[in-house]
Amino acid sequence: MSTTHDTASPRTRRARFRSLRAEKIAPGMFKVERLGGDTHVVDLRDGACDCEDFEYRMGPAGGACYHLRFVRLIADGVLCPECGYEHCRPSCPERVTDFEEDH
């Protein structure tokens, strides 16, 4: 599912740097939660999200909200599926240390 990610886009920056978490709830469907905030359902198969940004602004214009971009970044291997960061936090259970990468 490799896609080019427009790193200059404000929505892509939000997807990469906001405290988000994704949980798979069905094949191709994810619940995306903003820590301390709202939760939305993203459908990767249809390229859709139930948030107002997607419904009223991005979706009709053919774009993707930051929730959808976040899940795509995880699917493309750019962000960790456990913690949502490019470089895992020390608390991430999937974190690979420099020692593990060398061996």
Domain membership of residue 88 (yes or no) is yes
Domain membership of residue 3 (yes or no) is no
Number of domains in the chain: 1
Of the chain, the end-to-end C-alpha distance in Å amounts to 29
Structure tokens at 53: 């940004």
Domain that holds residue 30: 10-102
CB-based contact 12:75 (threshold 8 Å): no
Q: What is the pTM of this model?
A: 0.75
* Separation between Cα atoms, residue 21 and residue 27, nearest integer Å: 17
Q: What is the pLDDT of residues 49-99, one digit of tens each?
A: 999 999 988 888 888 999 999 999 888 888 887 777 777 777 777 765 544
